Amino acid sequence: MKNTEQFSLTEGTIWKSMLIFALPVFLSNVFQQLYNTFDAWCVGNYIGDNALAAVSSSGSLIFMMVSFFNGVAMGAGVIIARAYGAKDNEIMQKSIHTAIAFGLVCGVVLTVAGVAFTPTILRLMDTPAEVLPESIAYFRYYFCGAIFTVMYNIFVGILHAVGDSKHPLYYLIFSTGINIVLDMLFVAVLGFGVGSAAVATTVSQGISALLCFIHLLRTDEPYKVRIRMIRFDRNSLIDIIRYGLPSGVQNSVIAIANVFVQTNINSFGKAAMAGCGAYSKLEGFAFLPVTCFVQALATFVGQNLGAGNRERVKKGVAFGVICSCTLAEAIGLLSYLLAEHLIGIFSDSAESVALGTQHMRTICLFYFLLAFSHCIAGVLRGAGKATVPMFIMLSCWCVFRMTYIFTALRFVNVLTTVSWAYPITWTLSSIIFLIYFLKADWMRSFDRNEHSNRKVGVTQ
């Protein structure tokens, strides 16, 4: 395999190709997770539990606002990966520049909406009065830079689609270092308060996005970006929305369900908010093997189906799913054993640590189910079947999860009841995904004949 900035996942040894692509994605996700985790550690240790609760309560809300636009952007990655696998540079160029135009519009909308509706949404989440002012400050400062978050994900999606997972890693390492330095300066040294942690994150994300954009402008590869070409192409936009909208809807509605979960956690007080919030930061690291293989699988499936390599797709999917589930469960076992010590990193409150440990140990042994559901969803998105994971996850992770919590808390009103919502819904979605994956011909709609039709202007 050639040693270039990017490589085609349509050739070479399957396990080696996938690992070469997945490892930088994994490391990128590690550093991405450090953004919010260091924010939480810094404010928890230098400001206090109210500040930690404020950062924690904003997490699900931030995900809700960002995830829709990022989900839609996944559609661009599917189209670009397919065109790259089929060596169709014309469609790839149109899709890249349409995705950037789309991201700019979405980033502006997200910034305005996030800043404007912060107080209203946080009050609807029953955020405790003593935490509310700091939650509003953190959330508003964070969303002042929402456009950087959206554009960074657009640029990274383009690079991942063509097999370049290394450059996003380099840029993220650099910007994470800046984020840590600014966090310590603003919070620990200057004492600017919880909002300054969000400012540090915003500045760092802006730097990441800028470095990715400069690389796309300067490269001589077929995916080179030209500023004058950044505009909407009708067919490309239709395809991006066609493949990305279901993922966006899925992400945002699941995020709404998680906001509902967070609202119920908030009802148990700030100690529960701080403890469960600490767990959510740790959980982000635990999910890294899942997310890196999901991205690798989506790109692998998209490129190889674009090139017509169905047998290679089957072998690659088997390898990726097994690796992801195995790693996720190993991390789950380790998390169970070290739960109390890990939660204690973020807070010295005995009550917060106890509640966070209880929450973590209820959930972490079921990580393999989360990995399986996400991996199959990624495979189906890469194959152009984005509506299938949307309906499965909406049914299980949104409707059923909310119904379970609403009903179960009426009978057993304890925090553990809320915690069990995750393992139960992961189990349900995994069973449904397994049945669909084994029964359906999920590769059929993404054969090469569809790509040929798209080239001559035939829409389906």
The pLDDT of residue 459: 29
The pLDDT of residue 354: 92
The pLDDT of residue 390: 86
Lowest mean pLDDT across 42-56, 209-223, 355-369, 443-457: 443-457
The pLDDT of residue 61: 64
Burial class (CB in 10 A: 0-12, 13-18, 19+), 338: middle
Mean predicted confidence (pLDDT) in 33-53: 70
**Each residue's pLDDT tens digit, 8-17:** 677 778 888 8
The pLDDT of residue 6: 53
Per-residue b or e along 306-325, where b marks 16 or more CB atoms closer than 10 Å to that residue's CB: bbbbeebbeebbebbbebbb
The pLDDT of residue 456: 34
CA contacts within 13 A on the Cβ side of 3: 0
Structure-block tokens of residue 368: 């393999």
Residue 460 within a domain? no
pTM of the predicted model as reported, rounded to 2 decimal places: 0.72
Number of domains forming the structure of the chain: 1
Q: CA torsion, points 365, 369, 374, 375, in degrees to nearest 10?
A: 110
Mean pLDDT (the chain, rounded): 82
Angle CA(264)–CA(150)–CA(161) in degrees, nearest 5? Answer: 115
Sign of CA dihedral 291, 140, 64, 406: positive
The pLDDT of residue 404: 94
The pLDDT of residue 444: 67
- Domain containing 216: what range? 14-455
CA distances from 329 to 287, 289, 421 (A): 10, 10, 18
* pLDDT over 70, % of the chain: 88
For residue 315, give the amino acid letter.
K
Residue 119 within a domain? yes
* DSSP sequence for 321-352: HHHHHHHHHHHHHHHHHHHHHHHTTT---HHH
Of residues 265, 282, 274, the one with CA closest to residue 348? 274
Residue 7 within a domain? no
**Each residue's pLDDT tens digit, 113-169:** 888 887 887 777 667 777 777 778 888 888 888 889 889 889 988 998 888 888 888
Sign of CA dihedral 377, 290, 258, 251: negative
The pLDDT of residue 4: 47
The pLDDT of residue 455: 43
- pLDDT-based confidence at residue 407 (cuts at 50, 70, 90): very high
Residue 9 within a domain? no
Q: Is it the case that residue 356 has pLDDT exceeding 60?
A: yes
Residue 4 within a domain? no
The pLDDT of residue 435: 93
Lowest mean pLDDT across 187-196, 315-324, 365-374: 187-196
The pLDDT of residue 3: 41
Lowest mean pLDDT across 58-67, 86-95, 245-254, 282-291: 58-67
- pLDDT-based confidence at residue 48 (cuts at 50, 70, 90): low
- 352 vs 358: CA distance, rounded Å: 10
Q: Is it the case that residue 93 has pLDDT exceeding 80?
A: yes
Residue 3 within a domain? no
- pLDDT-based confidence at residue 230 (cuts at 50, 70, 90): very high
Tell me the Ramachandran region of residue 457: left when phi exceeds 0, alpha when psi lies from -120 to 50, beta otherwise: left
Q: Is it the case that residue 449 has pLDDT exceeding 60?
A: no
Q: What share of the chain is helix, strand, coil (3-state, %, to 5)?
A: 85, 0, 15
Residue 1 within a domain? no
The pLDDT of residue 123: 79
For residue 445, give the amino acid letter.
S
C-beta of residue 172 within 8 angstroms of C-beta of residue 32: yes
The total of other beta-carbon atoms located within 10 Å of residue 189's CB is 10
Residue 189 within a domain? yes
Lowest mean pLDDT across 23-37, 74-88, 345-359, 436-450: 436-450
